[in-house]
Chain A
Amino acid sequence: MSTLLRLATAGSVDDGKSTLVGRLLYDSKSVLADQLDAVERVSRDRGLVATDLALLTDGLRAEREQGITIDVAYRYFATANRSFILADCPGHVQYTRNTVTGASTADVVVLLIDARKGLLEQTRRHLAVASLLRVPHVIVAVNKIDLVGFDGDVYAAHAAAVTAAATDLGLADVRTIPVSALDGDNVVDRSTRTPWYDGPSLLELLEEIPAALDVADEAFRLPVQLVLRPQGAARDVRHRDYRGYAGQIASGVVRVGDAVVALPSGRTSTVVGIDTADGELAEAFAPQSVALRLADDLDIARGDLLAAVVDAPVPTRDLEATIAWLSDRVLLPGTRVLVKHTTRTVQAVVRDIVGRLDLDTAEITPADQLGLNDIGQVRLRLASPVAAEEYVISRRTGAFLLIDAHDGGTLAAGMVGEPLAEARCPQRRPAQYAI
């Protein structure tokens, strides 16, 4: 059975990221003949000697005209056992906005560095973003290894520097691979030109990385999307009195007979049925979309969270959070926003800006405002409570958006808790598993 892995790519300008993505698609035979024809035609028109695989991924007119990548693009490729969704995040313009977006859903971040340059400031920032967004796995591809004469010592030095920086930032699983995206070394097939490297190729590694954390280790959470109550509209008369709480399980496992609490009300009940259109289930787990029936007729609506009764989150109107500010406008204390947390949207005010995260040092420096692409620590006061948890505990119930109530734009990506807390206070580091 094929599984799904979501990955995001990141890199600085000219690290060869588009070429690597093109190579991955091309060598895994995910590029079809007519797509390749088009790229070859454009390469010829531009007077290039070899086919520019970067053209496979730059889709918009403005991108082709300017020779740059503007926005996150999604690519799809598959091997026998796994399908991949690749969020290709451009490195230069608005790199934080794009990388945060790509990393938010990623199981793996593939980060490129140039073997001639090694660890740059921007590499450190990308690692920090991966840590901040709690991406479970990071692969650092040391690219252009051909341009340093396939020198194993150069690679070893870069790998050591990257691993040290990643460990400092609290990243638990970081792998390095020497590659040449242009020539294909260690991208899909293992290279014979790097005899000092005996690890897997990039694609082999992507095939064997676990797709997700084990749901059995997580607490059950289901944000209620809507209450299914068909009444007279039920297509089957037996469902006239049906009442199911529909949603996608955010974390953990739920079984018939489990006690659950509805938040923020705090009322408890027992699961008597787990339904899908295909039939009833004895248990369900993240990220399945289901509908739960409960023993008691509770007042539950969209925006409520159903949670295991043990260690359920405590609803709160005060959030201490890390935000990646994605808007051109400046954020000042006192700004009114909407917070969209799971399926609940509430009004809020930014009470304090605690500081700005220096991605190079992982330190918080005092700040009284945040600008585009800044990552900062803020305190929010909400108009009504949300059942939020620390982002280090859950990438679902710990995440939120800040939305402009006036024009509806998305202002910021929010994560409950202090930025990189586990890096700055290692004792707070959550349990991670090794692969």
Chain B
Amino acid sequence: MSLAVPVPVRRLTQLQALESEAIHIFREVGAEFERPVLLFSGGKDSVVMLHLAVKAFWPGPVPFPVLHVDTGHNFPEVLAYRDAEVARLGLRLEVARVQDYLDDGRLRARADGTRNPLQTLPLLDAIAEHSFDAVFGGGRRDEEKARAKERIYSLRDEFGQWDPRNQRPELWNLYNGRHDVGEHVRVFPLSNWTELDIWRYIAAEQIALPGLYYAHDREVFQRDGMWLGVGPHSLPRKGEPVVTRRVRYRTVGDMSCTGAVESDAAGVDDVVVEVAASRITERGATRADDRMSEAAMEDRKKEGYF
């Protein structure tokens, strides 16, 4: 018989450790940068980012605006969600519109109709126009091989370029955010999270998401092995019959290149189970833009993409 008083177990769970790390990063940026901005699309990763930002600065407000690069091909329900969140939290929303660039000829529509790669220029212009010096992105290292080499603080030169061969070493939890005028730092607080962590966190924190992340009936057609939803910007071509399927989206991007997966996962707990059992990465399953080449993400990132 031991008379010892039981010692409380003081150990964070994995999700608690990831949350604490992210809050630390948000606070570092909030303290050291003059004009941060958070990229907010209404997608699940950016929703988790905003949730963490709220926690980091509670009981104060989130001390920076949010920026959305609108491809013009976004899902209407995601834009509605975005606007409702911004209003609920009293945030300032800046929108950079790809459509404006297409209208005045600064960008040209791609032959394949995809607008995701066109977001880089409006993003960089918005960063310059507002003199943003820190740009929070929801990128995760598990998403893609080029992202696996990304720092949490990723310095971008005056052209917004990422130089993967010349990154600052990142030691301990000491982040070096020094930059020259005109340069900025991309900050990735979710670097160490996986897709499953995101979903477990959404479940644990009961975070509301746009409905299309959960199973619903939708008119879809098949292209390149993906189910694309029928909408004003994604119309079936000849030989692509429209059918109704029970689907959900694993990622939410441009309607024209984001595929749905067949799923009965109607609630967050079902999604956690589904993601845990999935044998295909979310980008492999649902993103035409990442299938363009083996180094598609690296090439876009070097140019200043998210």
Residues of A within 8 A of B (CB): 1-4, 32-35, 38, 42, 57-62, 64, 70-76, 78, 82-83, 85, 97-98, 100-101, 104-105, 211-212, 214-216, 225-226, 228-230, 233-236, 239, 242, 244, 246-248, 253, 275-278, 285, 287-289, 302, 326, 340, 342-343, 395-396, 399-401, 403, 407-410, 413
Ranked 9 nearest A-B pairs via Cβ: A59-B145, A408-B178, A34-B284, A230-B60, A277-B58, A239-B59, A277-B55, A289-B23, A226-B31
B residues less than 8 Å from A214 (CB atoms): 10
CB distance from B147 to the nearest CB of A (A): 8
A42 CA to B145 CA in the complex, in Å?
A: 14
Task: Give the chain A neighbours of B15 by CB distance below 8 A.
Answer: 2
Additional A-B contacts beyond A32-B280, A74-B191 (4; CB < 8 A): A75-B142, A239-B60, A408-B176, A410-B169
Cβ contacts under 8 Å, B20 to chain A:
248, 287-289
Query: Closest approach, in angstroms, between the C-beta of A433 and any C-beta of chain B?
Result: 14
Stretch at the interface among B117-125, B160-168, B249-257: B160-168
Complexed CA–CA distance, A82 and B147 (Å):
23
Flag whether B34 is at the interface (Cβ < 8 A).
no
- B interface residue numbers (CB < 8 A to A): 7, 10-21, 23-24, 27-28, 30-31, 54-61, 90, 141-142, 144-149, 164-165, 167-174, 176, 178-180, 191-192, 194, 196-197, 278-281, 284-285, 294-295, 298-299
Some 22 contacts from A to B, beta carbons below 8 A apart, are: A2-B14, A3-B14, A3-B17, A38-B294, A59-B149, A60-B164, A61-B299, A74-B192, A76-B194, A78-B194, A211-B11, A230-B60, A233-B60, A235-B61, A236-B59, A239-B59, A289-B27, A340-B174, A396-B172, A403-B176, A410-B171, A413-B169
Which of B11, B27, B145, B178 is the one whose CB lies under 8 Å from A225?
B27
Q: How far is the CA of A61 from the CA of B90 in the complex (A)?
A: 43
- Tell me how many residue pairs across A and B have CB atoms closer than 8 Å: 200
Q: Does B165 contact A70, Cβ atoms closer than 8 Å?
A: yes
Inter-chain CA distance A302–B33, complex, in Å, is 13
Interchain CB contact (< 8 A) of B165 among A33, A35, A58, A71: A71
Cα(A104)–Cα(B57), bound, Å: 28
| Nearest opposing residue in chain B for A230, CB measure | B60
- Within the complex, which residue of A76, A233, A285 is in contact with B142, where a contact is CB–CB below 8 Å? A76
Residues of B with C-beta under 8 A to A342: 174
Q: Is the CB of A400 within 8 A of B174?
A: yes
Other-chain contact of B148, A75, A78, A233 (Cβ < 8 Å): A75
Measured CB to CB, the closest approach of chain B to A302, in angstroms, equals: 5
- Counting chain B CB atoms within 10 Å of each CB, the highest count among A105, A216, A225, A285 belongs to A225
Q: In the bound complex, do residue B27 and residue A101 qualify as a contact, i.e. CB atoms below 8 Å apart?
A: no
Contact status of A104 and B60, CB under 8 A, knowing A59-B145, A76-B192: no
How many Å from the CB of A410 to the closest CB on chain B? Answer: 5
Indicate the member of A58, A235, A239, A395 with the most B CB atoms within 10 Å: A235
Check A60/B14 contact, CB under 8 A, given A38-B294, A408-B180: no
How far, in Å, is A84 (CB) from chain B's closest CB? Answer: 10
**Which A residue sits closest to B196, measured CB to CB?**
A78
**Given A71-B149, A74-B192, A326-B169, CB of A401 within 8 Å of CB of B60:** no
Q: Name the B residues within 8 Å of A247 (CB-CB).
A: 24, 27
Contacts of B278 in A (CB 8 A): 32
Alpha-carbon distance A62/B172, docked complex (angstroms): 27
Query: A38-B294, A74-B148 known; A100 and B141 CB under 8 Å?
Result: no
CA distance A105 to B17 in the complex (A): 13
Least Cβ distance of B277 to chain A in Å? 10
Find chain A residues with CB under 8 A from B168 CB: 409-410
In angstroms, Cα B165 to Cα A70, docked, is: 7
Q: Which residues of B contact A60 (CB under 8 A)?
A: 145-146, 149, 164-165, 295, 298
A212 vs B21: C-alpha distance when bound (angstroms) = 15
Chain B residues, Cβ within 8 Å of A244? 59
A38-B28 Cα distance, complex, nearest whole Å: 38
A98 to B168, CA, bound (A): 11
B19: A residues at CB distance < 8 A: 289
Contacts known (A247-B27, A285-B10, A289-B27); A234 close to B149, Cβ less than 8 A? no
Nearest neighbor of B63 in chain A, beta-carbon distance: A233
A42 vs B192: C-alpha distance when bound (angstroms): 27
Report yes or no: B191 in contact with A35, Cβ–Cβ below 8 A: no
The chain B residue sitting closest to A250, CB to CB, is B173
B257 → chain A closest CB, angstroms: 16
A97 touches B169 (CB 8 A): yes
Contact status of A233 and B61, CB under 8 A, knowing A34-B284, A287-B17: yes
CA distance A212 to B16 in the complex (A): 14
How many Å from the CB of A1 to the closest CB on chain B?
Answer: 5
Residues of A within 8 A of B172 (CB): 104-105, 395-396, 399, 413
Once the chains bind, are A343 and B141 in contact (CB under 8 Å)?
no
- List, in ascending order, chain B residues with CB within 8 A of A239's CB: 59-60
Closest chain A residue, CB of each to CB of B183: A408
> What is the CA–CA distance of A3 and B9 in the complex, to the nearest angstrom?
12
Given A228-B60, A410-B176, the answer on whether A2 and B165 have CB atoms closer than 8 Å is: no
CB neighbours of A215 from chain B (8 A)? 10
CB contacts (< 8 Å) of B60 on chain A: these are 228-230, 233-235, 239, 242
A58 to B164, CA, bound (A): 13
Question: Contacts of A100 on B, CB cut-off 8 Å?
Answer: 169, 171
A302 touches B31 (CB 8 A): yes
Q: Which residues of B contact A343 (CB under 8 A)?
A: 28, 31
Q: How far is the CB of B137 from chain A (nearest CB, A)?
A: 16
Residue of A nearest to B20 (CB): A289
Measured CA separation A255–B5 after assembly (Å): 18
Chain B nearest CB from A71 CB (Å) reads 5
Residues of A within 8 A of B30 (CB): 226
B55 touches A276 (CB 8 A): yes
| Contact A246-B148, Cβ < 8 Å, known A34-B281, A74-B141, A85-B192 | no
Q: B141 contacts A401, CB within 8 Å?
A: no
In the bound complex, residues from chain B placing their C-beta under 8 Å from that of A101 are 169-171
Shortest Cβ distance from residue B150 to the other chain A in the assembled complex, whole angstroms? 9
Of the candidates A35, A235, A287, A396, the one whose C-beta lies within 8 Å of that of B90 is A235
List chain B residues, Cβ under 8 A from A104. Answer: 171-172
CA distance A157 to B281 in the complex (A): 43
Contact assessment for A1 and B295 in the assembled complex, using a CB-CB cutoff below 8 Å:
no
Q: Are B14 and A4 in contact (CB under 8 A)?
A: yes
Whether A59 lies near B284 (C-beta < 8 A) is no
A34 near B285 with CB under 8 A, answer yes
